[in-house]
Structure 1
Amino acid sequence: MENFIDFKGKRVLVTAGTKGAGAATLDLLRHMGATVLTTARSRPAKIPQELFVAADLTSDAGCHAVATAVRERLGGVDIIVHMLGGSSAPAGGFQVLTDDEWRRELDLNLFPAVRLDRLLIPDMIAQGHGVVIHVSSIQRLLPLPEATTAYAAAKAALSTYSKSLSKEVSPKGVRVLRVSPGWILTESSMHLAQRLAKEAGTDLEGGKKLIMDSLGGIPIGRPSTPEEIANLIAFLASDRAGTITGVEYVIDGGTVPTV
């Protein structure tokens, strides 16, 4: 029986593919036959040197280095998964968000995708096909004023940019989609749960509940796993999803309470 999804011969770039959902996506696509190049600031031992680029994607130079590596090592690209994102902004609401904090959030969550797309999508258009997946966040719909205003705004900008890009390049053979996770069970999120638990005088499960409560609750009662995010991305990137473009897929256990 044929595999439901086959990526044999596909050339893929996954940004931030060394941890969490990025690593799960990289592993799954490779298991399905793709050749996957990834990038981060430092290389973990499990990723072959020839399929890794050490780069700071918050800089224009870093994005150019990755685009060059894609052409030289893969000979082009069929699928781009923009996984890079995160936040280092302090808690304290809008008043603590200086211009530098705002720039850092935009440099991490918006501009890497904009720059890499500008560098690589023309090659996709020239070959007549390609898939671009922008990983956003439900925070664009559910910003937490105490801590995630700038991050949420940057992800909202990424989503608007992605929609506009899809309208421009889909007629030229390049599908553009968005995946918006809610809370993902990663090593860093477990550290956060442990810290919150300690501060509240409770256990790890209590810390996880504090996070879920801050999001207004998760109807299925748990966060998504990195592997579940990777499964969705793999389907959307595959030929099985050949008529899907310009839309957003939320994977959050039902966290977003509206239609």
Structure 2
Amino acid sequence: MPMQIEFREKRVLVTAGTKGAGRAVVELFQELGANVLTTARHRPDDVSEDIFVAADLTTAEGCDVVAKATSTRLGGVDVLIHVLGGSSSPGGGFAALSDDQWRRELDLNLMPAVRLDRALLPGMLAQGGGVIIHVTSIQHSLPLPEATTAYAAAKAALSTYSKSLSKEVSPNGVRVVRVSPGWIETEAAVALAERLAAQAGTDYEGGKQIIMRSLGGIPLGRPAKPAEVANLIAFLASPLAAAITGTEYVIDGGTIPTA
């Protein structure tokens, strides 16, 4: 039996949907018929105003702006996809992390999901169904002490929060699922590989190898594509995954060496 996924008339909010994996998610859900709204601090010229709301989700005020826009422009939400995340912490291990840097990592990687869920989940419960997908990271189980301690800890907090939330709301028809990517070949990842390649006197493929070695290797031999992450998210948000909740799906090319 052919399996087809569509989200016709479904209302979908995607955070950080103007580049990288988030943009791939937005484009795929649009192709599948969804009414999509996305958000970032600034709107790129090639992103339509019709699907965009400008906000800084690292603040409570920014989350409130997006929640209100979702209610006003979509009339609620059926699928909520938290892609937002990243790190600005310096290298140097634990001693290089100040209180402000710890706070920034939590404000970027944990609190936007907590705040938007708190604002929009009651509507899902009232309508008797919905899907929330939290994008975590393999860093929460495979941190790099030199540079990603705070980011990894924030993603671990997001993962634990997500699991707890799933146990609370799944009996009322709202599924909560985690997607845990490894290295994704986004614009930022390409720029990093190119910079490392230039420093090492090699080409882009050589730069990619440097990154993969730093992760302990990727058995698949390459990073995931943004579209591949989007495909997994679309499946998990679809009725084909109707019995899946509370679990985490790793998409890392085999980077994590354990089952």
Q: Which amino acid aligns with 2:211?
A: I
CA distance in structure 2 between the aligned counterparts of 1:218 and 1:51, rounded to whole angstroms: 36
Following TM superposition, by how much is the alpha carbon of 1:46 offset from its aligned partner in structure 2, in angstroms? 2.8
State the partner residue of 1:15: 15
CA distance in structure 1 between the aligned counterparts of 2:119 and 2:213, rounded to whole angstroms: 41
CA distance in structure 2 between the aligned counterparts of 1:189 and 1:6, rounded to whole angstroms: 30
Following TM superposition, by how much is the alpha carbon of 1:51 offset from its aligned partner in structure 2, in angstroms? 1.6
Identity of aligned residues (%): 70
State the partner residue of 2:111: 111
CA distance in structure 1 between the aligned counterparts of 2:90 and 2:222, rounded to whole angstroms: 26
State the partner residue of 1:232: 232
Q: Which amino acid aligns with 2:134?
A: H
State the partner residue of 2:215: 215
Q: Which consecutive unaligned segments of at least 5 residues does structure 1 have? A: none
Q: Which amino acid aligns with 1:113?
A: A
State the partner residue of 1:151: 151
Q: Which amino acid aligns with 1:136?
A: T
State the partner residue of 1:35: 35
CA RMSD in angstroms comes to: 1.1
Q: Which consecutive unaligned segments of at least 5 residues does structure 2 have? A: none
CA distance in structure 1 between the aligned counterparts of 2:102 and 2:201, rounded to whole angstroms: 33
Following TM superposition, by how much is the alpha carbon of 1:3 offset from its aligned partner in structure 2, in angstroms? 6.7
What pairs up with 1:75-90 in 2 under 5 angstroms? 75-90=75-90
The number of residue pairs the alignment matches comes to: 259
Equivalent residue of 2:143, what SS? coil
Following TM superposition, by how much is the alpha carbon of 1:6 offset from its aligned partner in structure 2, in angstroms? 1.1
State the partner residue of 1:99: 99
Q: Which amino acid aligns with 1:163?
A: K
Name segments (4+ residues, structure 1) moved above 4 Å.
Answer: none
CA distance in structure 2 between the aligned counterparts of 1:215 and 1:99, rounded to whole angstroms: 27
Following TM superposition, by how much is the alpha carbon of 1:45 offset from its aligned partner in structure 2, in angstroms? 2.5
Q: Deviation per CA, 1:93-145, whole angstroms, max 9, x where unpaired?
A: 11000001100100000000000000000110000000000000000011000
Q: Which amino acid aligns with 2:74?
A: L
Do the aligned partners of 1:50 and 1:73 also contact (CA within 8 Å) in 2?
no
Do the aligned partners of 1:58 and 1:111 also contact (CA within 8 Å) in 2?
yes
CA distance in structure 1 between the aligned counterparts of 2:3 and 2:27, rounded to whole angstroms: 16
What pairs up with 1:51-90 in 2 under 5 angstroms? 51-90=51-90
